[in-house]
Structure 1
Amino acid sequence: MMSRDEQVAVYRIEGLSCTSCAKKFENNVNQIASVSEAKVNFGAAKLIVNGAASIHELEKAGSFDHLQLVAEHEEFKKRSWYLQRHYQQLTLAAVFLLVGFVVQLLYEEQNIIGILSFVLSTLIGGVTLFYEGFKNLIRFQFDMTTLMTIAIIGAFAIGEWSEGATVVILFAISEALERFSFERARRSIRSLIRLSPKEALVVRDGQEQFIPIKEIKIGDICIIKAGQQIAVDGKVIQGTSSVNQAAITGESIPVIKCVDDDVFAGTMNEEGYLEVQVTKTSADTTLSKIIQLVEDAQANRASSQTFIDQFAKYYTPAILILAILLAVVPPLFHDDWMTWIYRGLTVLVVGCPCALVVSTPVAIVTAIGNSARNGVLIKGGVYLEELSMIQSVAFDKTGTLTKGEPAVTDYISLNEARHSSVIQIAAILESGSTHPLASAILRYAKDHQIEPMVNPSSFQSHTGKGVTGIIEGVKYFFGSPNWFGKRVTTEISNQIVPYQQAGKTVMLLATSDEILGGFAVADQPREESKQIIRELKDMGVDHVVMLTGDNQHTAHGIADRLGIEEVKAELLPNEKQQYIQQLRNSGISIAMVGDGVNDAPALAISNVGIAMGGASSDTALETADMVLMGNKLEKLPFAIRLSRFTKRIIGQNITIALGLKLISLLLIIPGMLTLWLAVFADMGATVLVTLNALRLLRSK
Structure 2
Amino acid sequence: MEDNRNVYRLQGLSCTNCAAKFEKNIRDIQTVEDVQLNFGASKITVHGEATIDQLEQAGSFDGIKVYPERQRLVENKESFWKKRGNVTAIISLLLIIVGYILSFQLGEENPFTIGVFLLSILIGGFDLFKTGLKNLTQHQFDMKTLMTIAIIGAVVIGEWGEGAVVVFLFALSEALEGYSMDKARQSIRSLMDIAPNRATIKRGNETMEIDVEDVHINDIMLIKPGQKIAMDGEVVKGQSSINQAAITGESIPVYKENGDEVFAGTLNEEGVLEVRVTKNVEDTTIAKIIHLVEEAQEERAHSQQFIERFAKYYTPAIMFIALLVAVIPPLFFGGIWSEWVYNGLAVLVVGCPCALVISTPVAIVTAIGNAARKGVLIKGGVHLEETGRLKVVAFDKTGTLTEGKPEVTDVLAFSNMNGKEILGHSAAIEAFSQHPLASAIIRKAEQEHIETYTAESFQSITGKGAKAIINRIVYFIGSPTLFDELTPISNNREKQIKELQKQGKTVMLVGTQDELKGIIAVADQVRAGSPSIIQKLHRLGIEKTVMLTGDNEATGKAIGNQLGLTETKAELLPQDKLNSIKMLREKHGNVAMVGDGVNDAPALATATVGIAMGGAGTDAAIETADISLMADELEKLPYTISLSRKTLKVIKQNVTFALALKVIALLLIIPGWLTLWLAIIADMGATLIVVLNSLRLMKTNYE
Taking structure 2 as the reference length, what is the TM-score of the superposition? 0.89
> What is residue 30 of structure 1 aligned with on the other side?
27
> What is residue 570 of structure 2 aligned with on the other side?
569
Equivalent AA in structure 2 for residue 32 of structure 1: I
Equivalent AA in structure 2 for residue 404 of structure 1: G
Shift of 1:109: 4.3
Equivalent AA in structure 2 for residue 69 of structure 1: V
- 3-state DSSP class of the match of 1:410? strand
Q: Provide, for residues 427-456 of structure 1, a one-character-per-residue CA deviation record: whole Å limited to 9, x for no partner.
A: 98589655533432454467x6x557x865
- 3-state DSSP class of the match of 1:627? strand
Equivalent AA in structure 2 for residue 339 of structure 1: E
The verdict on how the C-alpha distance between 1:576 and 1:435 changes in structure 2, with shifts beyond 3 A counting, is closer
The answer as to whether partners of 2:107 and 2:113 remain within 8 angstroms in 1 is no
> What is residue 195 of structure 1 aligned with on the other side?
194
The verdict on how the C-alpha distance between 1:304 and 1:489 changes in structure 2, with shifts beyond 3 A counting, is closer
Shift of 1:349: 1.1
Q: Provide, for residues 140-198 of structure 1, a one-character-per-residue CA deviation record: whole Å limited to 9, x for no partner.
A: 22221111010000011111112111111110110111111111111111111111111
CA distance in 1, matches of 2:442, 2:583: 43
Shift of 1:116: 2.8
CA distance in 2, matches of 1:424, 1:410: 10
2:332 counterpart of 1:308: no
> What is residue 218 of structure 2 aligned with on the other side?
219
Shift of 1:263: 0.9
CA distance in 1, matches of 2:666, 2:32: 43
> What is residue 619 of structure 2 aligned with on the other side?
618
Which residues of 2 match residues 275-294 of structure 1 at below 5 A?
Answer: 275-294=274-293
CA distance in 2, matches of 1:476, 1:368: 57
Shift of 1:517: 7.9
Q: Provide, for residues 6-29 of structure 1, a one-character-per-residue CA deviation record: whole Å limited to 9, x for no partner.
A: 2x2222222323322211111111
> What is residue 297 of structure 1 aligned with on the other side?
296
2:6 counterpart of 1:9: yes
> What is residue 368 of structure 2 aligned with on the other side?
368
Shift of 1:460: 7.3
Shift of 1:306: 1.4
Q: Provide, for residues 536-583 of structure 1, a one-character-per-residue CA deviation record: whole Å limited to 9, x for no partner.
A: 222222222222333334333332332234333333333333333233
CA distance in 1, matches of 2:208, 2:47: 36
> What is residue 660 of structure 2 aligned with on the other side?
659
Equivalent AA in structure 1 for residue 340 of structure 2: W
> What is residue 589 of structure 1 aligned with on the other side?
590
- 3-state DSSP class of the match of 2:673? coil
Equivalent AA in structure 2 for residue 379 of structure 1: K
2:118 counterpart of 1:127: no
> What is residue 245 of structure 1 aligned with on the other side?
244
Which residues of 2 match residues 43-62 of structure 1 at below 5 A?
Answer: 43-62=40-59
The verdict on how the C-alpha distance between 1:493 and 1:326 changes in structure 2, with shifts beyond 3 A counting, is closer
The verdict on how the C-alpha distance between 1:424 and 1:411 changes in structure 2, with shifts beyond 3 A counting, is closer
- 3-state DSSP class of the match of 2:227? coil
The verdict on how the C-alpha distance between 1:669 and 1:500 changes in structure 2, with shifts beyond 3 A counting, is closer
- 3-state DSSP class of the match of 2:34? strand
> What is residue 352 of structure 1 aligned with on the other side?
352
- 3-state DSSP class of the match of 1:313? helix
CA distance in 2, matches of 1:569, 1:475: 33
2:203 counterpart of 1:204: yes
The answer as to whether partners of 2:234 and 2:260 remain within 8 angstroms in 1 is yes
CA distance in 2, matches of 1:657, 1:494: 67
The verdict on how the C-alpha distance between 1:426 and 1:245 changes in structure 2, with shifts beyond 3 A counting, is farther
CA distance in 2, matches of 1:546, 1:368: 28
CA distance in 1, matches of 2:568, 2:150: 65
The answer as to whether partners of 1:465 and 1:483 remain within 8 angstroms in 2 is no
Equivalent AA in structure 1 for residue 36 of structure 2: K
2:549 counterpart of 1:559: no
CA distance in 1, matches of 2:502, 2:158: 91
> What is residue 68 of structure 1 aligned with on the other side?
65
- Shifted more, 141-150 versus 327-336: the winner is 327-336
CA distance in 2, matches of 1:543, 1:130: 57
Which residues of 2 match residues 206-605 of structure 1 at below 5 A?
Answer: 206-332=205-331, 333-412=333-412, 429=428, 433-436=432-435, 437-444=437-444, 461=458, 463=460, 464-465=465-466, 498-500=499-501, 502=503, 504-506=505-507, 519-586=520-587, 588-605=589-606
Q: Provide, for residues 576-614 of structure 1, a one-character-per-residue CA deviation record: whole Å limited to 9, x for no partner.
A: 333332333345221222222332222222221222243
Q: Provide, for residues 182-216 of structure 1, a one-character-per-residue CA deviation record: whole Å limited to 9, x for no partner.
A: 11111111111111111111111321111211222
Equivalent AA in structure 1 for residue 553 of structure 2: Q
Shift of 1:337: 1.4
- State the number of aligned residues: 687
Equivalent AA in structure 2 for residue 299 of structure 1: E
Shift of 1:689: 1.0
CA distance in 1, matches of 2:337, 2:434: 91
Taking structure 1 as the reference length, what is the TM-score of the superposition? 0.90
- Shifted more, 550-559 versus 280-289: the winner is 550-559
- Shifted more, 480-489 versus 257-266: the winner is 480-489
The answer as to whether partners of 1:430 and 1:442 remain within 8 angstroms in 2 is no
Equivalent AA in structure 1 for residue 692 of structure 2: L
CA distance in 2, matches of 1:392, 1:378: 19
Which residues of 2 match residues 55-204 of structure 1 at below 5 A?
Answer: 55-73=52-70, 74-75=72-73, 76-204=75-203
Equivalent AA in structure 2 for residue 527 of structure 1: A
The answer as to whether partners of 2:506 and 2:552 remain within 8 angstroms in 1 is no
Shift of 1:638: 1.2
Q: Provide, for residues 40-83 of structure 1, a one-character-per-residue CA deviation record: whole Å limited to 9, x for no partner.
A: 00111111112332222212211222222222232133333444
Shift of 1:34: 3.2
- Shifted more, 10-19 versus 368-377: the winner is 10-19
Equivalent AA in structure 2 for residue 408 of structure 1: V
Shift of 1:461: 4.9
The answer as to whether partners of 2:180 and 2:691 remain within 8 angstroms in 1 is yes
Shift of 1:253: 1.4
CA distance in 2, matches of 1:263, 1:248: 10
Q: Provide, for residues 241-284 of structure 1, a one-character-per-residue CA deviation record: whole Å limited to 9, x for no partner.
A: 11111121111111111111111111111222111111111111
The answer as to whether partners of 1:460 and 1:469 remain within 8 angstroms in 2 is no
Equivalent AA in structure 2 for residue 55 of structure 1: I
The answer as to whether partners of 2:238 and 2:258 remain within 8 angstroms in 1 is yes
**Contiguous gaps of at least 5 residues in structure 2:** none
- Shifted more, 277-286 versus 10-19: the winner is 10-19
The answer as to whether partners of 1:343 and 1:669 remain within 8 angstroms in 2 is no
The answer as to whether partners of 2:8 and 2:67 remain within 8 angstroms in 1 is yes
- 3-state DSSP class of the match of 1:330? helix
CA distance in 2, matches of 1:326, 1:465: 83
Shift of 1:505: 4.3
Shift of 1:84: 3.1
CA distance in 2, matches of 1:575, 1:116: 79
The answer as to whether partners of 2:212 and 2:281 remain within 8 angstroms in 1 is yes
Shift of 1:696: 0.7
- 3-state DSSP class of the match of 1:409? strand
The answer as to whether partners of 1:378 and 1:384 remain within 8 angstroms in 2 is yes
The answer as to whether partners of 1:609 and 1:625 remain within 8 angstroms in 2 is yes
CA distance in 1, matches of 2:96, 2:575: 70
CA distance in 1, matches of 2:360, 2:488: 71
